[in-house]
Structure 1
């Protein structure tokens, strides 16, 4: 049979200047609203609710009513805390050391089982019939607020979270609605369907939490304390009017100023009073950029030519290079600038900053011969500058055996002073916009065919990169010229050079992007990657783990690949209902099997964003001994131009997996989360906001 082409739509070239740029180091000043250039969030179809699925989910006694033993807390019951006088509101005073102890204590308590808090956490507004119909079918009891949760929410009274921020602190306006009397915001979406309502979780968590308010304005802290206590009272009244009983939650006002936390409890200070990240609390924005920098840091791809991210102007990273060529959507082909540097009799002590068009911006069939010439000329002059040579050097008799023309004699006199120069080809994220020039130059400088250079850059030079489909077409079109003009083939006949041009079977199915190398033995990709077994072999991938989707190959390919090297996880849709936890062990054992056999495993679903990303995060947590927030950022950075985003339930399951790994490691004790549910989901929502369409 013929191969069934199941491909995902790729976004067109996205100019980074329209998105904003990022710095590399230092990272402290990165705005939560700054997007990583070229990244995007693909659409993840949720899939159907399979027959009987809702009934199976709803049949669990714990899922029906959400009742279970609450996690322990140092704040409940509130013994030993001074209560402010009120007939109905529960407001207490607390000190900095007690806040710190309570934050630490709650991080050591196990989370309830996912079935006890979902689908409530997805957001089930009474008027959102689409969301309710999908999740709860005929059982309305699943809409009830779970009573098995006792969290801890910290609010900074003045709402300025850029300075003096405690771990997990939120602003009052994120929680409270002042349109009438103070009460919790009715946060559940009133329409639409989503399994990724990360933006509502901080507020939902606050309704299931004891709440601590801090700040240096004592009057403001006290007023906000009464407002929050009133909101808690009204929340409880509303549930009681509907015949539902929920736990009693309390409000606490911190009587110590912020400097007490800085001096005596620094472990819970995320941002100090001067607006600087302390490093004591993991920050997802900072962590993602750090992982991106570590992954994309500059490395040498050919003699004296490096690829990497744009150097931070606040550092001296640029000083180690003689020439810097920035690839961007506003870049121009200007090989004459490189030629001028090569021809100059003087060595300028400054570092020339040149530019070049970004990957994806030169699109066949609209590209011109002048653009092709520009790419070749750029490669030529980069080569001569990197090697300290000049066109014609290879033809000069520098040993003096033959007569030389006067200009050649003059050139010979200049040769000793001509030194090789170190060149950085860079772009904002270190891998997207510089890919086209990087592959073209690697082909030119090494004499490799374009497909071979493409693979060599990834497998031998260990660079992670992303290319556009137009780059595949463009580089294929100019491959003959790259090889014919390559210094490596200067003395070869054209027939010998043309014999090097071969189109491997995997290139026809290449949309520009390779699957993402997360670990040396584990790749994350989409269904299109899984449908290209020739590409997988070329990358050293010998196993495929299909999560909820199945690759379609030609007859006989599965037998050639080896059925034992393919594992398919059936019946898992990206619908916020199907769990993955029970598949973790089997999937990770399969990945480890491939590792022991000396091969890598491709983990894929449809788009490589949710189901397969969840498995990869679980393996990174296990292998690298990372908490969920750090493993999430690790995988997110390495998925290159795609934003991974497991849905809410998968994220929650990964937090439970973190508990499982810590329990195994510490012999049943030592559980401690770096961030709580409300903190993690809030930061993820802010990280994803710039990419929302």
Structure 2
């Protein structure tokens, strides 16, 4: 479909991959839509840990003191006024709420060994989970006595307005019948999964933490005080009933209390704006870190439009949420899975329209990456792809440096069917010329995320405009043009099969031949045969995050300037053949320097925090030497992602939520998945880094909020 308009409109998203809503309402009624093309890979936990497994120490000695239980300004409760006697509900002022939240943020988290595996979820009926984590150690199922949190609950449950930092809806933690049934029978949801195995139960953490927290209930301007107090009473009964249940089986239980805020929400907005996430009008304040917005901002920064050839740019679809539509572009080409290749007539009309006195903006769609599949692609599809490249070349070059536009109607075939002379050089064929615009225009090739659907046309035109082979195009676009992109294996196979055709029609390649230079298509490099289209993700200029397949492709790593490898729990195959474990632990092989982290599986038991220093020092040394480091595990989303997040936190001074979103955005289509224990250790790492900088421990967000937000971000991609 082609459109000619006087001014560039706001571009609609494709229905198959809509961009996410910018909202902080992560309750079930307001889950943001998924970011296009992302997916959650499956991570194997490895073998079941032995019963006698001694988990590696979670961290080196730290200056942060640990106590049996976290301290809180809400306990003991002698200074609070009772609203109700049975069960007891206390009144709390907005100022005290703000002080209590700030104090809690400065309390060190308990040692991971004190709260895991309980946080994983250990339901009495879940034989698989219990066998993996607990075996005969029944005591591990007990509720940790070291935890004491604060759970904010908004009466009414509408979190799209008047939301305090970390607030949840009642239905997230109270059983359904407890919301309307007899108040004395109120109870918490039992969040632990009854079956299955997972070390990524992020969705249960807010509810689990509510059972070891003091509860604060508040409402917005439309909520009557009686409703707030009644809901607080239900929570007080739920706490009492849970305590009685634990005592009946001989388990200890902490003493937790319920508080009700009777002042209007306006008091928080006026006097304590730093803990207001969304105001009474539903406006995001920006005072509280929002994972969804942060990821979108990081993606926008990473994928901003950049020039890949004269007057041709790759970038994301214009999003007025972050910036106005760029009026500097004359042509917008959207890559879409649903699009058809424009025909000759359409391209001719668009070219003619660009020369009109009013200088309209033109829009049209092209097939996205992965939509032209070898070996079943048709000649017409490749002809159309080449016509688009020629059309872009002509509209982006003025008459002084442009040849007449030609349509490609020749037989589309692989390299072996393209005309090649006796020296192995490709020969140019021509078709009837068509009138082209007489002024160079600026073209934006775009897609919703800025790096997936647009990659096929982007790479094809990059090869065409620069006269590059497939291998050279992949490396040059990434290294020299600093462009992050994701291409499918089918894209790599297609472009490899039509490489000679692209070069034969490339104006640059043709000019080399006409100048008398010896020009031939070089043989494909060794790494291309093992290449699946994707590159390891560039998190920082000197640090890449990838999977085992990336690590096993040593020639590709050399092309990318990677000379150092951190292998987390997995070894590269090409080094194992001639390097013993003792040599590879901190040595080199075949021009690569290695660090290998042994005996760390993705099982929710093994610790990584004790390995942070060694790995980060190794990466820093590479930075000083001007050599990039690849950090990998098997899939490249959990163990290796944890190391990368730890380095970003240290080097950039970011909090865990900030660093998580930074790395997540740069892993492109693959969603990073550090499991619960690694996530917890990264929050402990945040504490450690603050101490090293001479700052008091202070978390930006609490454990329950962090895990809840990660669960909400992942929900659209989870298999139901």
TM-score of the aligned structures, taking structure 1 as reference length: 0.90
SS of structure 2 residue aligned to 1:320: coil
What is the Cα deviation at residue 670 of structure 1?
A: 1.9
SS of structure 1 residue aligned to 2:83: coil
- Tell me what 1:621 maps to: 649
What is the Cα deviation at residue 317 of structure 1?
A: 2.0
Distance change in 2, residues 1:28/1:244 (3 Å): closer
Q: Is the 8 A contact 1:484 1:497 kept in 2?
A: no
User: Which residue of the other structure, out of 256, 259, 264, is the alignment partner of 2:263?
Assistant: 256
Is 1:452 aligned to residue 480 of structure 2? Answer: no
- Tell me what 2:526 maps to: 505
Report the Cα distance in structure 2 between the residues aligned to 1:593 and 1:282, rounded to whole angstroms: 32
Moved more, 606-615 or 312-321: 312-321
- Tell me what 2:46 maps to: 47
SS of structure 1 residue aligned to 2:451: coil
Q: Is the 8 A contact 2:466 2:508 kept in 1?
A: yes
- Tell me what 2:429 maps to: none
- Tell me what 2:9 maps to: none
TM-score of the aligned structures, taking structure 2 as reference length: 0.86
- Tell me what 2:163 maps to: 165
User: Which residue of the other structure, out of 329, 333, 347, is the alignment partner of 1:338?
Assistant: 347
What is the Cα deviation at residue 459 of structure 1?
A: 0.4
Report the Cα distance in structure 2 between the residues aligned to 1:252 and 1:465, rounded to whole angstroms: 51
- Tell me what 2:111 maps to: 113
Deviations 1:504-545 (A, max 9, x none): 111111101000000011000000000000000100100010
SS of structure 1 residue aligned to 2:326: helix
SS of structure 2 residue aligned to 1:364: coil
Is 1:230 aligned to residue 256 of structure 2? Answer: no
SS of structure 2 residue aligned to 1:689: helix
* 1:514-663 → structure 2 map (5 Å cutoff): 514-553=535-574, 561-562=589-590, 565-663=593-691
Report the Cα distance in structure 2 between the residues aligned to 1:391 and 1:340, rounded to whole angstroms: 19
RMSD of Structure 2 on Structure 1 (CA):
2.6
Is 1:207 aligned to residue 205 of structure 2? Answer: no
- Tell me what 1:383 maps to: 393
What is the Cα deviation at residue 335 of structure 1?
A: 5.5
What is the Cα deviation at residue 71 of structure 1?
A: 1.5
- Tell me what 1:361 maps to: 371
- Tell me what 1:671 maps to: 697
Report the Cα distance in structure 1 between the residues aligned to 2:565 and 2:358, rounded to whole angstroms: 53
Q: Is the 8 A contact 2:588 2:594 kept in 1?
A: no
- Tell me what 1:403 maps to: none
Report the Cα distance in structure 1 between the residues aligned to 2:518 and 2:134, rounded to whole angstroms: 66
SS of structure 2 residue aligned to 1:317: coil
SS of structure 2 residue aligned to 1:318: coil
Distance change in 2, residues 1:56/1:630 (3 Å): closer
Q: Is the 8 A contact 1:228 1:251 kept in 2?
A: yes
Q: Is the 8 A contact 1:308 1:431 kept in 2?
A: yes
What is the Cα deviation at residue 487 of structure 1?
A: 1.1
Deviations 1:540-596 (A, max 9, x none): 100010000011017569998457701111100000000101000011011111111
- Tell me what 2:423 maps to: none
Q: Is the 8 A contact 1:68 1:147 kept in 2?
A: no
Is 1:691 aligned to residue 691 of structure 2? Answer: no
Q: Is the 8 A contact 1:32 1:285 kept in 2?
A: no
Report the Cα distance in structure 2 between the residues aligned to 1:342 and 1:255, rounded to whole angstroms: 66
- Tell me what 2:127 maps to: 129
Report the Cα distance in structure 2 between the residues aligned to 1:75 and 1:421, rounded to whole angstroms: 65
- Tell me what 2:384 maps to: 374
Deviations 1:377-408 (A, max 9, x none): 1101101111124964599xxxxxxxxxxxxx
Q: Is the 8 A contact 2:145 2:254 kept in 1?
A: yes
Moved more, 308-317 or 445-454: 308-317
What is the Cα deviation at residue 70 of structure 1?
A: 1.3
User: Which residue of the other structure, out of 343, 361, 371, is the alignment partner of 1:351?
Assistant: 361
Is 1:301 aligned to residue 308 of structure 2? Answer: yes
What is the Cα deviation at residue 484 of structure 1?
A: 1.4
Moved more, 683-692 or 347-356: 347-356
Report the Cα distance in structure 2 between the residues aligned to 1:294 and 1:27, rounded to whole angstroms: 19
Q: Is the 8 A contact 1:54 1:137 kept in 2?
A: no
- Tell me what 2:31 maps to: 32
SS of structure 2 residue aligned to 1:490: helix
- Tell me what 1:81 maps to: 80
Is 1:271 aligned to residue 278 of structure 2? Answer: yes
Q: Is the 8 A contact 1:93 1:255 kept in 2?
A: yes
What is the Cα deviation at residue 353 of structure 1?
A: 1.1
What is the Cα deviation at residue 79 of structure 1?
A: 2.8
SS of structure 2 residue aligned to 1:518: strand
Report the Cα distance in structure 2 between the residues aligned to 1:277 and 1:487, rounded to whole angstroms: 51
Moved more, 487-496 or 643-652: 487-496
Q: Is the 8 A contact 1:54 1:135 kept in 2?
A: no
- Tell me what 1:152 maps to: 150
Moved more, 308-317 or 124-133: 308-317
Deviations 1:228-274 (A, max 9, x none): 00000011111111112211001000111111111111000001111
SS of structure 2 residue aligned to 1:33: coil
Q: Is the 8 A contact 1:466 1:512 kept in 2?
A: yes
- Tell me what 1:22 maps to: 19
Distance change in 2, residues 1:299/1:272 (3 Å): same
SS of structure 1 residue aligned to 2:270: helix
Structure 1, unaligned runs of 5 or more: 1-15, 59-66, 396-410
Report the Cα distance in structure 1 between the residues aligned to 2:239 and 2:23, rounded to whole angstroms: 38
Deviations 1:642-687 (A, max 9, x none): 0001000000000000000011112xx4221111000011111111
Q: Is the 8 A contact 2:24 2:290 kept in 1?
A: no
Distance change in 2, residues 1:19/1:616 (3 Å): farther
Deviations 1:41-76 (A, max 9, x none): 000000013445546689xxxxxxxx9521111111
Report the Cα distance in structure 1 between the residues aligned to 2:251 and 2:24, rounded to whole angstroms: 46
Distance change in 2, residues 1:142/1:18 (3 Å): farther
Report the Cα distance in structure 1 between the residues aligned to 2:357 and 2:604, rounded to whole angstroms: 62
Report the Cα distance in structure 2 between the residues aligned to 1:171 and 1:528, rounded to whole angstroms: 43
Is 1:476 aligned to residue 496 of structure 2? Answer: yes
- Tell me what 1:433 maps to: 453
Structure 2, unaligned runs of 5 or more: 1-12, 58-65, 407-432
Report the Cα distance in structure 2 between the residues aligned to 1:470 and 1:623, rounded to whole angstroms: 37
Deviations 1:399-435 (A, max 9, x none): xxxxxxxxxxxx9xx99x8221010000010000000
Q: Is the 8 A contact 1:449 1:502 kept in 2?
A: no
Is 1:286 aligned to residue 293 of structure 2? Answer: yes
